[in-house]
């Protein structure tokens, strides 16, 4: 995720070809998780240091790359960023495509912009998230009250090949490639919670504990991911729609089975409504417990957020859209 901590200037200087720079980039490539060459990939490139490094390293890894820039129209200078990305793509021998995804001002701007960006990108597009982004996500999800899956944060998959790099690494990759990242002023806006976590909370934690906390938080994410995989395996044979099965299971497993079923059965998105696009988000603990109350016969039906409700009929649970698509949470008495 492109959130430079320094003050880069807008622009581009001549970059070495991927073959010329392979040796210089090898220390960084060895910590990346790119698909093997000669795979063809799309890279989401905003013009900031993380996504420019993603573009450079993908080409240095021998991949055929198309850089896609998505302009949200939020900042007055955002349209010019597409030209910077196009020039960078040409310099490293990659293709380029510009997309627009207008996002209106208002609450939850960052989340809505992210959702619009992911919708505009092709499936499987590579993203430039780093270990620092991972650490911030762990803290944000932990303090939102997320369970193990939320604290597990972003999985180290091909879609996020830079999770083994730090933000300082991406700045150095850009320097080696002769690229000057653009500055997104919104990354310094204290009204955005992630920015305060980055610029205030993490430095405070490092001061208190006298160490670099990002590797610790990333390790916590890895351990949480192992726990969620174990829970997935434990409920693999459990029918989450069978009320008797849920009643007999340990509460933790019943909750986990319901959480998986609601997430997979309903597309609960950042727009908070049933849809077939956008990001999939699991229900919160309160919603899962309302669904469990339905399974245990304590309620006849309950809303679980995102315009979905769970109801019981003949000892079976059913997931269905609410009549109004409302995200208001209600529970019908038994």
pLDDT recorded at residue 327: 42
Name residues whose C-beta falls within 8 Å of residue 15's C-beta, 6 or more positions apart in sequence. 21, 56, 88, 91, 92, 177, 178, 179
Does residue 28 or residue 79 have the better pLDDT?
28
Residue 328 pLDDT greater than 60, yes or no: no
Tell me what the pLDDT averaged over the chain comes to.
85
Least confidently predicted of 14-18, 81-85, 97-101, 172-176: 14-18
Q: For 298-310, how does the pLDDT look when each residue is reduced to its tens digit (9 = 90+)?
A: 999 999 987 889 9
Where residue 14 falls among pLDDT bands split at 50, 70, 90? very low
Q: Percentage of the chain surpassing pLDDT 90?
A: 65
Angular region, 165: left φ>0, alpha ψ -120 to 50, beta rest: beta
DSSP 23-74: HHHHHHHTT--PPPTT-EEEEE--SSHHHHHHHHHHHHTT-EEEEEEEE-S-
Least confidently predicted of 38-47, 57-66, 194-203, 256-265: 256-265
- Closest to 158 (Cα-Cα) out of 86, 57, 245: 57
Name residues whose C-beta falls within 8 Å of residue 8's C-beta, 6 or more positions apart in sequence. 49, 171, 180, 181, 182, 183
pLDDT recorded at residue 330: 52
């Amino acid at each position: 995720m492109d959130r430079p901590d320094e003050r880069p200037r807008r622009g581009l200087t001549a970059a070495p070809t991927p073959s010329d720079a392979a040796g210089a980039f090898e220390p960084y490539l060895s910590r990346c998780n790119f698909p093997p060459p000669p795979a063809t990939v799309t890279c989401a490139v905003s013009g900031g240091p993380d996504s420019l490094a993603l573009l450079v390293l993908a080409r240095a890894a021998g991949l055929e790359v198309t850089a896609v820039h998505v302009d949200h129209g939020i900042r007055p200078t955002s349209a010019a960023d597409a030209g910077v990305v196009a020039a960078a793509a040409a310099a490293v021998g990659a293709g380029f495509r510009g997309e627009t995804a207008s996002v209106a001002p208002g609450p939850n701007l960052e989340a809505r912009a992210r959702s619009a960006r992911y919708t505009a990108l092709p499936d499987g597009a590579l993203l430039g998230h780093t270990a620092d982004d991972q650490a911030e996500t762990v803290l944000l999800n932990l303090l939102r009250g997320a369970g193990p899956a939320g604290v597990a944060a972003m999985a180290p998959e091909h879609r996020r090949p830079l999770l083994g790099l730090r933000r300082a690494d991406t700045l150095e990759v850009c320097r080696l490639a002769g690229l000057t990242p653009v500055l997104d002023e919104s990354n310094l806006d204290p009204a955005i919670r992630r920015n305060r976590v980055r610029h205030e909370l993490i430095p405070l934690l490092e001061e208190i504990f006298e160490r670099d906390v990002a590797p610790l938080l990333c390790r916590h994410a890895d351990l949480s991911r192992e726990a969620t995989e174990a829970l997935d395996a434990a409920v693999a044979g459990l029918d989450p729609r069978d009320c008797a099965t849920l009643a007999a299971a340990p509460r933790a497993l019943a909750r986990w089975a319901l959480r998986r079923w609601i997430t997979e059965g309903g597309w609960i998105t950042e727009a908070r409504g049933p849809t077939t696009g956008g990001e999939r988000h699991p229900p919160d603990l309160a919603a899962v417990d309302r669904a469990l109350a339905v399974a245990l016969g304590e309620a006849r039906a309950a809303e679980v957020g995102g315009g979905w409700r769970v109801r019981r009929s003949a000892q079976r649970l059913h997931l269905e859209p609410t009549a109004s698509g409302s995200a208001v949470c209600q529970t019908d008495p038994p």
